[in-house]
Amino acid sequence: MTPAANRRAFLDALAFSELGMGLLSVSNNGYNVIVGSTPQAPILFDSYADHPRKSVWIPRIKDYSTAAGRYQVLEKYFDAYKRTLSLPDFGPVSQDRIALQLIRECRALDDIDNGRFTSAIYKCRSRWASLPGAGYGQNERSVDSLVAAYLRAGGEVT
């Protein structure tokens, strides 16, 4: 297994964690999903020219969120990463680059590249509320479900 394949599988597992298979299947693989979506009532955006900048009330956290895209990136973080990574838009390549930068900041890329999936998940839990142990009061996925998603996506675990 190559590090690139493990990274792609990790990104797929993150997307599964944040959105679930249902939303991934009724959207552009999650890249155009706005927070608050369900598979039965997806809220999708049409243009990747910019972050959709839609603020949605989320009852379970009793707050508004601007999370959007495959990795549910907040508007304020997109703005910062757009500058630092010189991103042209909020398209799929840009969203993947943001996710990889977040993973890099968590010091988890080496774990991913070398198949230490569980270690990488725990290192990244501060960035994604759906990861086990994140502690944001949102629905957290189980490690087992994430490992299964990672393996389905072609990742290798050591």
- Going along the chain from its start, the domains and CATH numbers come out as 3-152 (1.10.530.10)
pTM: 0.95
Q: Please tell me the predicted confidence (pLDDT) of residue 136.
A: 82
Q: Give 100-116 pLDDT, tens digit per residue.
A: 999 999 999 999 999 99
Question: Distance between terminal CA atoms of the chain?
Answer: 11
The single residue of 18, 75, 140, 156 carrying the catalytic annotation is 18
Beta strands in 2-153 (DSSP E): 56-58, 63-65
Residue whose pair of structure tokens reads 């706005």 in the numeric block: 34
State which residues of the chain have pLDDT below 50.
Answer: none
* Active-site annotation holds for 18: yes
Q: Please tell me the predicted confidence (pLDDT) of residue 61.
A: 81
Which tokens hold the place of 32? 């155009």
Q: Please tell me the predicted confidence (pLDDT) of residue 12.
A: 98
Q: Please tell me the predicted confidence (pLDDT) of residue 1.
A: 64
CB atoms closer than 10 angstroms to residue 44: 15
Burial class (CB in 10 A: 0-12, 13-18, 19+), 52: buried
Q: Give 15-28 pLDDT, tens digit per residue.
A: 999 999 999 999 99
